[in-house]
Structure 1
Amino acid sequence: MSTTRREAVRQALNASAGFRSAQDLYADLRADGSKIGLTTVYRALQALSDSGEIDVLRTDDGEAVYRACDSGSHHHHLVCRVCSTAVEVEGPTVERWAAEMGEAHGFTDVTHSVEIFGTCASCSRLS
């Protein structure tokens, strides 16, 4: 895949607030005149995710959404169900638990992801 296409996807994520779907990013890029294909957007997102440059999570309905990563270290997210605002949170208790569960069951190279969903203070005030 062309590095310039991957860079275009990275820039689109950097310009976005919150998490965005691949289809949303594709529509933004096309609206800006890019000739990029949806398959290329997905490939770029996978490459950026694999390298740790972006965050990816699954919404309540199972859709993968992406955003530029604020932190290069392992972290979790607290995500608003209404506006998709996300806050990076640490989870040392979760980290210990995941390692202990892996060890207790003879697993090695254990990884995990934890996403916490709720309604942010701003959206709660609107209800």
Structure 2
Amino acid sequence: MKRNTWQRDAVRAALDTQMGFVSAQTLHSNLRGSGSNIGLATVYRALGDLASEGEADSLQSPEGESLYRACSSAHHHHLICRSCGLAVEIEADDVEEWARSVAALHGFSQAEHVVDIFGYCSACVPTVG
């Protein structure tokens, strides 16, 4: 575990205020807007450390951008709004069973998985015309 610094604490605190996944650039902009002089490279490094230690979730958006959010330490999945980034942690026993059965079907054991479901939250659902 890396030692805590004021920069890492600032990134962790800023991540805790987000409702969903956020890019390093957005988090950096938010920190700078609140008066911090933290550098973008430091934000990236802190987010990477937090993700590798299980204090943050990391995923790639459909566009390929790395996104982060504070998370619980238990294994979970996400529902993520494509528009506003709202993320909801879900426990999905069906996903666990599906992953085990597909792995076994193909002769794999001790398989691990990451499942993120993208859609639109009720506030952002596009109108169908």
Same fold (TM over 0.5): yes
Gaps of 5+ in 1: none
Q: 1:97 — aligned with what?
A: 98
User: What percent of counterpart residues are identical?
Assistant: 48
Alignment of 1:12-31 (within 5 A): 12-31=14-33
In structure 1, distance between residues paired with 2:19 and 2:121: 15
TM-score (norm 2): 0.83
Q: Which runs of at least 4 in structure 1 moved beyond 6 Å after TM superposition?
A: none
Q: 1:119 — aligned with what?
A: 120
Task: Say which structure is richer in helix.
Answer: 1
Q: 1:76 — aligned with what?
A: 77
Please report how far the alpha carbon of residue 31 of structure 1 lies from its aligned counterpart in structure 2 after TM superposition. 2.0
Gaps of 5+ in 2: none
Please report how far the alpha carbon of residue 95 of structure 1 lies from its aligned counterpart in structure 2 after TM superposition. 1.7
In structure 1, distance between residues paired with 2:35 and 2:122: 37
In structure 2, distance between residues paired with 1:112 and 1:54: 17
Task: Report the aligned-residue RMSD.
Answer: 2.0
- CA offsets per residue over residues 12-70 of structure 1, 9 Å max, x none? 1112222110001111112222222111111110111111111222111111111111x
The residue type paired with residue 48 of structure 2 is Q
The residue type paired with residue 93 of structure 1 is D
TM-score (norm 1): 0.84
The residue type paired with residue 45 of structure 2 is R
Contact map agreement 2:19 2:87 (CA 8 A) in 1: no
In structure 2, distance between residues paired with 1:79 and 1:63: 14
Q: Number of paired residues?
A: 124
Paired residue for 1:51, among 23, 40, 53?
53
The residue type paired with residue 98 of structure 1 is A
Contact map agreement 2:21 2:68 (CA 8 A) in 1: yes
